Amino acid sequence: MDENKILVSTTENIPGRDYEIIGEVFGLTTQSKNVVRNIGASFKNIVGGEIKAYTELLTEARDIAISRLRENAEKMGADAVVMMRFDSDSISQDMETVAAYGTAVKFK
């Protein structure tokens, strides 16, 4: 099964599909900010505005977390993940962690 074919939904129910719950599943990544991003962020901190380098970092981290969520769901034999959510936190000043988590399900 191709992990990209695993449906990931933020809803509890998938219309028209019955399924059994397999269990909890997650995908996790930790990304560090590089020196160039930190310098750019320091300048933006002075003048204000969006820090695009950090936005890109978090977008990339989110995409990696979802990909790992799908990989882990596939290993469990799931067809989909329902009730998917994100959580993120700063581990230190230079590191950000993003978790995607939900419930792995198998279609009947």
pLDDT in tens, 27-83: 999 988 765 555 555 555 566 677 777 888 889 999 999 999 999 999 999 999 999
Instruction: Using CB atoms within 10 Å of the CB of residue 43, give its burial: 0 to 12 exposed, 13 to 18 middle, 19+ buried.
Output: exposed
Q: State how far the Cα of 10 lies from the Cα of 101, in Å rounded to an integer.
A: 10
Whether residue 25 contacts residue 75, with contact meaning beta carbons closer than 8 Å, is answered with no
The kind and range of the H/E element at 66 are helix 52-75
- Supply the pLDDT for residue 22: 98
Mean pLDDT, to the nearest integer, of 22-28?
Answer: 98
Prediction pTM value: 0.82
| Domains with residue ranges and CATH for the chain | 3-107 (3.30.110.70)
